Amino acid sequence: MERKDENYDVEAYLSEYAEAYHDKEVRILNAAINAFAEKGFDATRTKEIAERAGIAEGTIFRYFPTKDAILERMVPLLIRVMQPKIAKPIENIISFNQNEPVEKIFYAVLCDRLQMIRDNGRFIKSVLPELIHRAPLLNQLKQSVQPMIEHYIEQVVAQGKARGELAESLDAHMVAMQMLGFILAYSILQSKADPAQQERDVEQFLHNAMHGWSKPAKPKQ
């Protein structure tokens, strides 16, 4: 059940990607993310972003006419560059653990996603608040991330139904919503939990979700 890909750092990966493919657009994006993380969106100037990216300030305006435009392009650019990297670990988990009980597969997926959020805490805290105030950007993020998560959850649910581990009536969409809700709530409310506590909490959540909270009814005499 070990995670196969340890490099979930968005900022480090974007930097490597920009250098490998000579992608100035991504280099500017990565410089902006770092600047926003340190100073906040409002306090960051395009000149500082250019200095971090190692380019002239005028070059930025060839790709992004304003600082707001950088933020507006941030979501689609991140999705284009990061989606394969974010999706691959889930594919590996499902493939590597295909003969394991469904509960263990869900456990590995949840732990992996929580670790991804931990690895990118600085990025999330600096960029996500800005996206929340821009409904179109938040909607872009939702439309890109949610279907990807649901796609993999549907695979696991179908596998569980085929093996008789899950009820035929179980809705994969609702399973995905429960898991996404847990990931978001846990990341906000329990962000400082140590890894051992996180593993126990994930196990408890899955046990409650899959087996219910109520006591089994006593058989009638």
Domain-by-domain residue ranges, the chain? Answer: 10-210
Sequence-distant (≥ 6) Cβ neighbours of residue 57 within 8 angstroms? 46, 47, 50
Q: Is 205 helix (H, G, I), strand (E, B) or coil?
A: helix
Q: Say which amino acid occupies 161.
A: K
Superfamily of domain 10-210: Tetracycline Repressor, domain 2 (1.10.357.10)
164 φ, ψ (degrees, to nearest 5): 75, 15
Sign of CA dihedral 94, 96, 100, 105: negative
Alpha helix stretches (DSSP H) within the chain: 10-21, 24-39, 46-53, 57-63, 67-96, 102-119, 121-132, 135-162, 172-189, 195-211
Cβ neighbours for 98, distance < 8 A, ≥ 6 positions apart = 105, 159
The more confidently predicted of residues 185 and 124 is: 185
Q: State the chain's mean pLDDT as an integer.
A: 84
> What are the tens digits of pLDDT across the range 166-216?
999 999 999 999 998 998 889 888 878 888 999 999 999 999 999 888 776
Eight-state DSSP code of residue 219: P
Would you say 78 and 148 are in contact if contact means Cβ atoms under 8 Å apart? Answer: no
Name which residue leads in pLDDT, 120 or 194.
194
Tokens of 86: 């974010």
Q: pLDDT digits over 77-103, tens only? A: 777 777 777 788 899 999 999 899 999
Inter-residue contact 46 to 67 (CB < 8 Å): yes
| pLDDT on residue 3 | 43
Token look-up 């399973």 returns 175
